[in-house]
């Protein structure tokens, strides 16, 4: 069975499916099998990163799949230790060699690492790689509005995507309003809060029972209705299919408000505040 996933258009014209597959920890042959099964189920957007050490696995799944390359949207990310301009240029090339792909649809700066103060250089490298056809669309992860405003001020270009932590326990309301006003699409990382207590939450359980859906489906539908693109990771073909079977029901405004009440100021999974947390 294969599900047809709706698409949206980013501020630079690239279209993306409204839900994608996370691939953190999907490595090697088992990882390639899992990603291939997701593509068979209907996933077209695949999220990897240089630091996940599985760009090769993603490339292998793309080659195993019968879906034409131009229908897929493959994302990778630049690590913090390679944000200096020359290193960023080489790393983008290395990312492509690892995946054995000619281009990435989307390439993101993985963390701003503001203390290091090199993300504008990295952004310039992404802009140049886009010009030379190695990347179709460029974006960021974990950037705060102040970081994005600086990119725009210093280079005249803003990201198409900002991939941030977003789930019912940390719903990023202020960030969502700012991104909507600035026409930047949000992708939600750890959209299921890594299958933690959120999947046992009573409020979500009641909403799920009412719609005859699972809690994961309710959460992923909630992301969709917020206008964010969730990228749930699953290694299981059954759960992959479950996670994209969200286009045959909708949440009411009351249900959306009930879910909004679950957010907590300290709701981040690992307290990774991009203002101070750094990842290399």
Q: Which stretches of the chain bind ligand NAP, using CB under 6 A?
A: 22-24, 47, 110, 141-142, 163, 189-195, 199, 216, 231-236, 239, 242-243
> Which strand ranges, in their side-by-side order, compose the sheet holding 45-47?
21-22, 45-47, 73-78, 104-109, 135-141, 161-165, 185-189, 229-230
Nearest distance, CB of residue 236 and ligand NAP, angstroms: 4
> Which residue's CB is nearer to ligand NAP, number 86 or number 275?
275
Catalytic: which of 24, 43, 50, 52? 52
Instruction: Fill in the DSSP letter of residue 225.
Output: H
**Alpha helix (H) ranges present in the chain?**
28-41, 55-64, 85-99, 119-131, 145-155, 173-181, 202-211, 215-226, 237-244, 253-260
Distance between CA atoms of 218 and 39, rounded to whole angstroms? 22
> Which residue's CB is nearer to ligand NAP, number 67 or number 199?
199
Nearest distance, CB of residue 210 and ligand NAP, angstroms: 18
CB nearest ligand NAP: which residue? 22
Nearest distance, CB of residue 204 and ligand NAP, angstroms: 12
> Which residue's CB is nearer to ligand NAP, number 2 or number 236?
236
Closest CA to 126 of 75, 167, 173, 172: 75
> Which residue's CB is nearer to ligand NAP, number 178 or number 277?
277
Is residue 52 part of the annotated active site? The answer reads yes
104 — phi, psi (to 5°)?
A: -100, 145
> Which residue's CB is nearer to ligand NAP, number 147 or number 233?
233
Closest CA to 76 of 57, 192, 184: 57
Nearest distance, CB of residue 279 and ligand NAP, angstroms: 7
Classify 22 as helix, strand or coil: strand
Distance between CA atoms of 189 and 1, rounded to whole angstroms? 26
Nearest distance, CB of residue 240 and ligand NAP, angstroms: 8
**Chain centroid to CA 58: how far?**
15
Residues belonging to the active site: 52
């Amino acid at each position: 069975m294969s599900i047809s996933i709706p698409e949206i258009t980013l501020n630079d014209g690239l279209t993306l499916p409204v839900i994608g597959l996370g691939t953190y920890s999907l490595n090697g042959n088992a990882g390639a099998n899992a990603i291939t099964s997701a593509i068979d189920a209907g996933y077209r957007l695949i999220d990897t990163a240089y630091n996940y050490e599985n760009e090769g696995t993603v490339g292998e799944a793309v080659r195993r799949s019968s879906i034409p390359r131009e229908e897929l949207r493959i994302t990778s990310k630049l690590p913090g230790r390679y944000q200096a301009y020359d290193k960023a240029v080489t790393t983008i090339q290395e990312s492509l060699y690892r995946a054995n792909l000619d281009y990435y649809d989307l390439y993101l700066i993985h963390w701003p690492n503001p203390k290091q103060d090199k993300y504008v250089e990295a952004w310039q490298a992404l802009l140049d790689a886009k010009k030379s056809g190695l990347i179709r669309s460029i974006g960021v992860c974990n950037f705060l509005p102040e970081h994005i405003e600086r990119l725009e001020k210093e280079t005249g270009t803003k990201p198409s995507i900002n991939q941030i932590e977003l789930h019912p326990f940390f719903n990023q309301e202020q960030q969502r309003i700012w991104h909507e006003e600035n026409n930047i699409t949000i992708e939600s990382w750890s959209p299921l809060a890594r299958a933690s207590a959120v999947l046992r939450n009573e409020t979500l359980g009641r909403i799920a029972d009412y719609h005859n859906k699972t809690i994961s489906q309710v959460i992923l539908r909630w992301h969709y209705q917020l206008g964010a693109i969730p990228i749930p990771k699953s290694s299981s073909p059954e759960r992959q299919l479950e996670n994209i079977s969200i286009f045959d029901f909708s949440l009411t405004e009351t249900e959306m408000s009930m879910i909004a009440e679950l957010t907590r100021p300290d709701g981040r999974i690992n307290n990774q505040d991009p203002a101070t947390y750094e990842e290399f």
